[in-house]
Amino acid sequence: MTDIDIIEGASNADIARFLAGYLSDCLAKNDHPVAISVPGGSTPFPILEALKGAHLDWSRITVWPGDDRIVPEDHAASNTGKIRALLEPVGATIVSLSVMEQVPRFALVWLGMGGDGHIASLFPNTDPKVDDPAPLRRLTPDPLPPEAPFDRITLTIPALLGSDHLMFVIRGDAKRAVFDEAARGRNDLPVARLLGAAAQKVTCFT
């Protein structure tokens, strides 16, 4: 089983404090920019709202969406647009994903997980590979989620693994069960492939 630090019953404020402390430590190590990746969906934005009030040098923080829907940034389904509206005003640099992007090593990759075990937009039907030579892929989930029926662009498993720390926020018993099975290598879902190849620290908030 992958070595994962599970933090049970974490509130949004708890997770924001963890992120603030982690980013503060990263910024203190040197004068280099700090790149992080964050997920879309409904769960992250209350946490990011709490985080944006932290006393951090946001001008040195670059925020990448882990994935996005292929829609304009002013579309309600755009992860990038929501992240930009929240964090650009405090000084962060927000990246719009494109297949030509030069993907950095991330100080931290924060991921959610769907009930089907997908991470970012790496759905089971896309058969994501741990040795994918591309850092970004444009793809079509199948089935398309009815709440967001759009093609996607996503970081690949190697790009997500190019990080110093992996963090998950998993809400609900059903998702937790899928995550636990994946961590034990008992399924071959995208999250299991990522965890099976992960050598860095993994923290999961529930």
Helix (H, G, I), strand (E, B) or coil at 152: strand
At residue 186, the pLDDT reads 95
CATH at 40? 3.40.50.1360
Enumerate residue ranges in the chain where pLDDT < 50.
none
Distance from C-alpha of 138 to C-alpha of 70, rounded to nearest angstrom: 9
With tokens 């994962």, the residue in question is: 4
> Dihedral of CA 27/11/195/118: which sign?
negative
What's the chain's average pLDDT?
A: 95
| pLDDT tens per residue across span 34-60 | 999 999 988 999 999 999 999 999 999
**Contact call for residues 154 and 82 (beta carbons, < 8 A):** no
At residue 176, the pLDDT reads 97
Which candidate, 44, 186, 190, 185, places its Cα nearest to that of 115?
A: 190
Distance from C-alpha of 202 to C-alpha of 110, rounded to nearest angstrom: 10
The parent domain of residue 128 ranges over 4-205
At residue 146, the pLDDT reads 84
- Please provide residue 95's backbone torsions phi and psi, each rounded to the nearest 5 degrees: -95, 135
For the chain, what's the residue count?
Answer: 206
| pLDDT tens per residue across span 1-24 | 568 999 999 999 999 999 999 999
Number of domains in the chain: 1
At residue 1, the pLDDT reads 56
The CA–CA distances, whole Å, from 83 to 20, 32, 90, 149 equal 17, 22, 11, 20
pTM above 0.85, yes or no: yes
Distance from C-alpha of 19 to C-alpha of 33, rounded to nearest angstrom: 16
Helix (H, G, I), strand (E, B) or coil at 89: helix
Q: How far is the first Cα of the chain from the last one, in angstroms, to the nearest whole number?
A: 18
Helix (H, G, I), strand (E, B) or coil at 116: coil
Q: Give the E-state strand segments of the chain in sequence order.
A: 4-7, 34-38, 61-65, 67-69, 93-94, 108-111, 136-139, 152-155, 165-169, 201-205
